[in-house]
Amino acid sequence: MKLRSERLPPAAAEAPAENCSGAALFAKAEELLLKKVADGDPRACFLKGQLYYEEGLYEEALTEFEKIKDTDFQAMYQLGVMHYDGLGTKEDPEKGVEYMKKILDSDSPKAKHLKFAAAYNLGRAHYEGCGVKQSTREAERLWLIAADHGNPKASVKAQATLGMFYSVAVLKDLKKAFFWHSEACGNGNLESQGALGVMYLYGQGIHQNTKAALECLREAAERGNIYAQGHLVEYYYKRKFYSTAAALAKRVTENDDIDMLAAVTDCLPTYIAKGVAMAAFYLARCFQLGLGVQQDQAAAKKYYSKACLLDPGVAADLELTANLGRI
């Protein structure tokens, strides 16, 4: 379960709302913030760094945040993320962890709104053993802190992460996984909505409920959850709705830029790849056997190869099931 740091949401730079190019807007925002910095506005330096950060000018952002890290907890937080993920500087996870710990341990009211995001990121560090000693127990403890509704975005991220954590970790507990995915889904998390659909479909952590499963999977699929779309393809195929399965699978397999989809949907690339791999596998079966589409062995080979390339484990499992006559 590869995780990403929880980052601060974009901060408006108070640029004039004019119909002009992105470069022109950036220049106007930068000019305005430079003036505010010169006038002594205490927030302007952070906003200037955040402007650079959002534009991908990480080295410039790093310079601005370094200037105020001792007096601005948001700048300290951003530096923690940047050092941990290697943005604008070489990766230094130990330094990233150090900044996050300072925020989590601080008694300052100015750090309060950042504590939950810091706890999420520290949980990630402990889970991956990067910058700190690996400990799933400590990761669990920190994510439970982060999930406590103190910060809407970070808390929901922690809730979804706990859902996945209890599904795959040594501490596997599908009832807890279902609970946390339900919490995250209720707060709008797309990844957890797809996960809930799968859990309802197969009775994992909850009694099997096909109606609830399809409601979750279809809504998540409409919102762009590729993992949910892959499971819908499988559902339609197994119930012999071959034309529906093939039509959906064709759309799903057109998704080639996994990282872009991950950025747009805020879903983990691993699960996006699994969803596309599932769709590719069942589309290959449809072409191989002439189910819902005209038989085409070349197309079948193409989509089998795509499934194996994206997720060899999923492809192997599905192939085994097919050979046992259960598909």
Give the pLDDT of residue 13.
Answer: 43
**What is the CATH topology of the domain spanning 1-10+21-113?**
1.25.40
According to CATH, where is 1.25.40 located in the chain? Answer: 1-10+21-113, 225-327
Spatial distance between the Cα atoms of 246 and 325, rounded to a whole number of angstroms: 19
233 closest CA partner among 195, 192, 277: 277
Structure tokens at 27: 């220049």
Q: How far is CA 269 from the centre of its chain?
A: 7
Residues 6 or more apart whose CB falls under 8 angstroms from that of 268 comprise: 1, 2, 3, 4, 164, 191, 262
Distances (CA, A) of 41 to 27, 45, 190, 257, 286: 19, 8, 38, 42, 64
Residues of the chain with pLDDT below 70 are 1-20, 149-151, 169, 315-327
Give the pLDDT of residue 1.
Answer: 53
Spatial distance between the Cα atoms of 129 and 86, rounded to a whole number of angstroms: 16
Is the alpha carbon torsion for 229, 268, 264, 14 positive or negative? positive
Q: Residue holding tokens 């959906």?
A: 248
Amino acid at the residue 254? E
Distances (CA, A) of 298 to 247, 285, 302: 18, 12, 6
Is the alpha carbon torsion for 36, 39, 45, 49 positive or negative? positive
In angstroms, how far is the first alpha carbon of the chain from the final one?
28
Residues 6 or more apart whose CB falls under 8 angstroms from that of 182 comprise: 192, 196
Structure tokens at 130: 């990067």
Spatial distance between the Cα atoms of 160 and 154, rounded to a whole number of angstroms: 10
Spatial distance between the Cα atoms of 235 and 198, rounded to a whole number of angstroms: 10
**What is the CATH topology of the domain spanning 225-327?**
1.25.40
pLDDT per residue over 42-84, tens digit each? Answer: 889 999 999 999 999 999 999 999 999 999 999 999 999 999 9
Amino acid at the residue 206? I
Q: Which secondary-structure segment (H or E) carries 304? A: helix 297-310
Is the alpha carbon torsion for 120, 125, 128, 133 positive or negative? negative
Structure tokens at 176: 């807890």
CB 278 within 8 A of CB 234: yes
pLDDT per residue over 110-163, tens digit each? Answer: 999 899 999 999 999 999 999 999 999 999 999 999 998 666 777 899 999 999
CB 65 within 8 A of CB 49: yes
For the packed helices 44-54 and 58-68, what is the interaxial angle rounded to 10 degrees?
160
